[in-house]
């Protein structure tokens, strides 16, 4: 087992699936080097549909250098509405060219604003906003700049085929950006919330400086940790740290630590607990690697989900309504289903309704939660923080092609999976280069 980078280990990704040396290189030298296009799975009516039945305007936006949340804020400001009236199915990174759907409540097609570095086209209208399940997946085209050993891509692919029993495959980890690339703390905030420690949650976000962020940010975080002087900290925190500054204003005005955490938009509040779930999931997958359990087929005790029968072409994804608990007598049968892409071994994103696996997989799930001092009932939380939990496939099988000049990867992934989880195996470099 090849140990991962220290920043990856900090978010539960302990190992690589491939032992071969990487290509090196950098991603995202320019936004056009990293292109992401949603594989859409959302019913839309014509743009002239009755707005009383279809109050949501649906647009397709191609964004250059935009984080999804930042674009939504600018779009909302341009038309004078709350950002909460915009919905989308998946969050995209700003260091890319991305194409995705947005749904906007009570907006006329004629009122779509011009936003810099964004091409926005009206698609139609819908009866509801977009949700996570409305995204089938994403297609990626990624160029690697200045690789030291581009030929190593073939050796990595060979290793990943061995891991996937014939198919290029990787563990379905949550990628670094789920937790913060330079300062991976969103899961720490979430874990504190789950432990009902709102002070620790607020300070995890405001404090905890790291060597990977700008020096003025490090100084500001160190100041607030040392002094708890909220008003003085407003003079220290640079303007770009707007979420931190909003929290500090709340605390300076006498608000509680919980009030400060709840100044975040609702989707970001959910992200904290989601990140804690993701961290526990990554830990479970790393433990599965360490114990030598397979990812492409089940062992006795595993929980398997069958594939969705109506998923869009090219994207296989598990159906939560078709679950099978694998007994000793069913291992071989379920292994054949997994081999043919008809079923997926899963691990839990823990929530209030989580039921653990049995056997060794169940031991892994329980031991990780014990180490984190968590149990499913801890996810019974107020407001946006509550989570019932779900399960997630442990293996990714990207249909991947590699070009060598320049080194370019093309592949598609189901929604909720991370391109960097595939690419980290090939580059084997700092996640800050991904």
In three state form, how does the secondary structure of 23-34 look?
CCCECCCCHHHE
| Cα-based distances in Å from 48 to 54, 81, 112 | 10, 22, 15
pLDDT at residue 320, as a whole number: 86
pLDDT in tens, 397-413: 998 999 999 999 999 99
- Indicate if 257 and 353 belong to the same structural domain: no
- pTM score, whole prediction: 0.90
- Indicate if 14 and 156 belong to the same structural domain: yes
To the query of whether residue 378 is one of the catalytic residues in this protein, the response is no
- Indicate if 370 and 413 belong to the same structural domain: no
* Selected catalytic residue, list 33, 41, 48, 93: 93
pLDDT mean over 270-285: 96
Q: 323: domain range? A: 272-393
CATH number at residue 327: 3.30.2350.20
pLDDT at residue 427, as a whole number: 98
pLDDT mean over 229-251: 97
Please report whether residue 409 resides in a domain. yes
- Indicate if 249 and 377 belong to the same structural domain: no
From start to end of 225-337, where are the E strands?
303-307, 318-325
Please report whether residue 279 resides in a domain. yes
pLDDT classification of 1: cutoffs 50, 70, 90: confident
Please report whether residue 179 resides in a domain. no
Please say whether the beta carbons of 350 and 370 come within 8 A: no
pLDDT at residue 338, as a whole number: 94
How far apart CA 333 and CA 285 sit, in angstroms, is 23
- Indicate if 202 and 157 belong to the same structural domain: no
Please report whether residue 105 resides in a domain. yes
- Indicate if 50 and 114 belong to the same structural domain: yes
Please say whether the beta carbons of 266 and 221 come within 8 A: no
- Indicate if 239 and 283 belong to the same structural domain: no
Q: Which of 264, 283, 298 is the last residue of a domain?
A: 264
- Indicate if 401 and 387 belong to the same structural domain: no
Please tell me the total count of domains within the chain: 4
Please report whether residue 180 resides in a domain. no
- Indicate if 110 and 164 belong to the same structural domain: no
CATH number at residue 221: 1.10.1510.30
pLDDT mean over 215-226: 97
Please report whether residue 120 resides in a domain. yes
- Indicate if 118 and 250 belong to the same structural domain: no
Please report whether residue 21 resides in a domain. yes
Mean of the per-residue pLDDT values for the chain?
A: 94
- Choose among 375, 317, 312, 374: nearest CA to 346: 317
Three-class SS state of 81? coil
Please report whether residue 37 resides in a domain. yes
Three-class SS state of 176? helix
How far apart CA 158 and CA 20 sit, in angstroms, is 9
CATH number at residue 128: 3.30.70.3160
- Indicate if 347 and 286 belong to the same structural domain: yes
pLDDT at residue 267, as a whole number: 79
Residue 332, C-beta contacts closer than 8 angstroms, at least 6 positions apart: none
pLDDT at 384 over 80: no
pLDDT at 314 over 80: no
- Indicate if 293 and 387 belong to the same structural domain: yes
| Cα-based distances in Å from 304 to 101, 164, 173, 286, 330 | 31, 17, 17, 18, 11
- Choose among 268, 255, 244, 251: nearest CA to 84: 268
pLDDT at 275 over 80: yes
Q: Which of 214, 230, 264 is the last residue of a domain?
A: 264
């Amino acid at each position: 087992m090849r140990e991962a980078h220290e920043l990856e280990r900090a978010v539960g990704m302990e190992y690589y699936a491939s032992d071969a040396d990487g290509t090196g290189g950098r991603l995202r030298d320019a936004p056009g080097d990293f292109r992401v296009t949603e594989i859409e799975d959302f019913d839309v009516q014509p743009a002239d549909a009755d707005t009383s039945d279809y109050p949501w305007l649906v647009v397709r936006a191609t964004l250059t250098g935009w984080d999804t949340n930042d674009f939504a804020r600018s779009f909302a400001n341009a038309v004078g509405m709350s950002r909460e009236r915009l919905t989308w199915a998946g969050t995209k990174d700003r260091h890319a060219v991305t194409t995705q759907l947005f749904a906007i409540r009570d907006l006329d097609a004629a009122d779509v604003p011009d936003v810099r570095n964004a091409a926005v086209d009206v698609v139609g209208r819908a009866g509801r906003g977009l949700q996570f399940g409305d995204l089938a997946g994403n297609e990626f085209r990624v160029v690697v700049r200045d690789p030291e050993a581009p030929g190593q891509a073939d050796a990595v692919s060979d290793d990943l085929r061995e891991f996937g029993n014939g198919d290029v495959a990787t563990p379905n980890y949550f990628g670094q950006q789920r937790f913060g690339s330079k300062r991976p703390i969103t899961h720490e905030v979430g874990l504190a919330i789950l432990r009902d420690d709102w002070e620790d949650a607020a300070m995890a976000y405001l404090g905890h400086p790291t060597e990977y962020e700008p020096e003025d940010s490090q100084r500001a975080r160190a100041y607030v940790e040392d002094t708890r002087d909220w008003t003085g900290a407003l003079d220290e925190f640079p303007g770009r740290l707007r979420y931190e500054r909003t929290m500090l204003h709340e605390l300076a005005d006498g608000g509680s630590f919980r009030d400060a955490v709840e100044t975040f938009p609702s989707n970001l509040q959910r992200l904290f607990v989601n990140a804690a779930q993701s961290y526990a999931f990554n830990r479970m997958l790393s433990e599965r690697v360490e114990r030598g359990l397979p990812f492409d087929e089940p062992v006795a005790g595993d929980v398997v989900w069958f594939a969705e029968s109506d998923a869009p072409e090219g994207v296989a994804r598990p159906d939560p309504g078709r679950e099978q608990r694998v007994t000793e007598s069913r291992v071989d049968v379920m292994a054949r289903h997994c081999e043919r892409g008809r079923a997926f071994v899963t691990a839990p994103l823990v929530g209030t309704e989580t039921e653990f696996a049995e056997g060794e997989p169940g031991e892994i799930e329980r031991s990780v939660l014990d180490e984190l001092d968590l149990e499913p009932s801890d996810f019974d939380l107020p407001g946006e923080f509550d989570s019932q939990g779900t399960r997630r496939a442990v293996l990714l099988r990207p249909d991947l092609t590699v070009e060598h000049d320049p080194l370019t990867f093309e592949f598609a992934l189901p929604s909720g999976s991370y391109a960097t989880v595939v690419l980290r195996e090939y580059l084997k470099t700092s996640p800050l280069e991904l």
